[in-house]
A and B are shown apart, each in its own frame.
Chain A
């Protein structure tokens, strides 16, 4: 950590002391009334996050580093703590520390063309900011960078690396292959010591299903007009969404969130003062603090009603058939396979959440997502939904071009009602 600039260290401290979630944890700990806007779900998220971090740091449970496409239920099912360094990069960005960590990765010889999620995570790994892994597990699902990055980490720490190769087409053969591979990896992890134990698997799946039920209700409540939850906040919970399913914390977080949103809808308290437009957001948001999200949602009343990255895509898991269930969760991933899967999700969400426009955030270096933009755009426009592609960077504010993005978003909003007319006129004629 010594090589980080004093400014970053100050910021980290400042973040820890001043940021809402630390405060709310302190409030919860001291029995003070909770902050009203998050009605308990933030506290639950922080309690879960710090609990997992403590278990990892104290080595009470083994630690698995993995990519966001690995079902967290698999890791919890082995009695381990999942650490997704890509999500940790999001936290580093949130307290403006990302550039320093990225500079560290650049110093190791990683070219700036690579995704800043991974470069920042590499810096975090090199600086010892993350609990040391006992094993690294990656899936081959989308994002090539993630698996190469994780393989690199396994070499850095001298721990085993396991790759779960997922066939491109979904189907029973693919499920059987992935299930067999998951079992193989679980066996290898258990044989390697550190206390991995697959007997937690049925409970992990059962907990995941309970969280899933709550989350389905969250998704249903979010269809309400006006929207009860801001999408910018929902995207900030990406780490919870990818890492908490399969843990008791996941159930508590989504139960609290469900109750909070139900109360908001019942009490007429909504996400933005005046909802003028509803948007569907594709891919992640910039995680560093900035004006873009408040500008969009609060200033202009363009609420992000739904996001593809935080929609629930998998079926109920079967605790009696854990390997097949987890395999199915992977092979059916909406970001894997032909782009039709993603198109279907985009159009379904756009319809279900009655959006006026779709924004694709093209994160620098994310080939798997940006490569499909021309197709997504064509499908959206074909369905009469205005589409904006916004270039930016989720992690590195130096590459974020906030002013440009603001202008583009504003111009997009200026054209929204008009585009609707244009479509109506076109389809009528």
Chain B
């Protein structure tokens, strides 16, 4: 195997990284560092998903002729595919048609898409002259799935052992590095002891409120968002005196809760479509039962609804979630800018209402 397989970027938790890995490429989760600058207005409007804008900008500025895997998950993502294909033709854009129906028909459709993904990526890698796999050393989908099943298992364990902000800093690193390197880091425990993570783990010790960790006895909250959750936002929440005990985000349950052992595209499609639903996949009513169960299991006393601006799919869930038993705090955020003073004040005030009299 080549030490440096070609990198393939992907944006959505419904894209199986194991399919990219099986095609001999390195899956890299696209997690832009900060908001897109004003110059991005030339390509995408300002009143538009800030995550998609930031993702566009990162790909736009990228030097390498990379491949990008997107899904048809929402209007902004579909337009991102169009805008990349028109303004950055040197990028290879693969758009997976993500069904909404989850029964056999949806699975059959998605399995065909995953097969298309694998064959397109293999061809792309060969064309780019950087074949990830040496001849005769092919990696089967089952082998690739094994790697990622193991990775998810270790990540779940790590998540239980450290505060949410530290876990997410670690996760962001692992989702962008070579899968085998990520496995090594987690198996040797070096990942958990990574500098940022380490400080935060210590901070979670009783009586300590340093470095953004929450104090013991802090009320547990569930965070709901439609995008990869912003570690800064989690830091602010913990700094405000709450503990994140459940997380419904693209990097929360939706990332880790995948049935293991898929051997072919059909099984993989099944595993991915049957995982905890994202707001795009499900209707508000159907998602409620799942969210209530998640909150209950974590022992959450309140919900922080982290609405990335202009996200239609998430916004429609808010009225249903607000009307239930747990109190809800709505926070509107831009991508990569959520740590303002106002943000902290609001979370602190919310936490004050959750504390026992």
Contacts and interface: CB of A to CB of B under 8 A. Distances in A.
Chain A directly contacts chain B within the complex, with at least one CB pair under 8 Å: yes
Interface of A: 108-111, 113-115, 140, 142-145, 148-149, 151-152, 155, 161, 163, 165, 167-169, 177, 180-181, 338-339, 362, 364-365, 367-368, 370-375, 378
A110 B79 contact: no
B284 A155 contact: yes
A104 to B, nearest CB: 12
A31 B83 CA distance: 56
Contacts, number: 122
Contact of A367 (B76, B81, B95): B76
A143 B313 CA distance: 10
Given A148-B283, A168-B95, A371-B75, A111 B318 contact: yes
B291 interface: no
Contacts of B106: 165
Question: Which 8 A-B pairs give the minimum distances between C-beta atoms?
Answer: A371-B79, A148-B316, A368-B75, A339-B82, A151-B283, A367-B75, A109-B319, A168-B97
A378 B89 CA distance: 14
B316 A151 contact: yes
B312 A148 contact: yes
Contacts of A115: 312
B86 A378 contact: yes
A114 B82 contact: no
B74 interface: yes
A375 B82 contact: yes
Contacts of A368: 75, 78-79
Nearest to A105: B319
B332 interface: yes
Contacts of B316: 110, 114, 145, 148-149, 151-152
A111 B315 contact: yes
Given A151-B283, A163-B101, A370-B45, A142 B319 contact: no
B310 interface: yes
Contact of B47 (A140, A142, A338, A365): A365
A68 to B, nearest CB: 15
B315 A114 contact: yes
A367 B312 contact: yes
Contacts of A114: 312, 315-316
A370 B48 contact: yes
A149 B79 CA distance: 21
A341 to B, nearest CB: 10
Contact of B310 (A108, A148, A181, A367): A367
Interface in B48-67: 48-49
B309 interface: yes
Contact of A111 (B99, B100, B332): B332
Contacts of B234: none
Contact of A374 (B49, B87, B109): B87
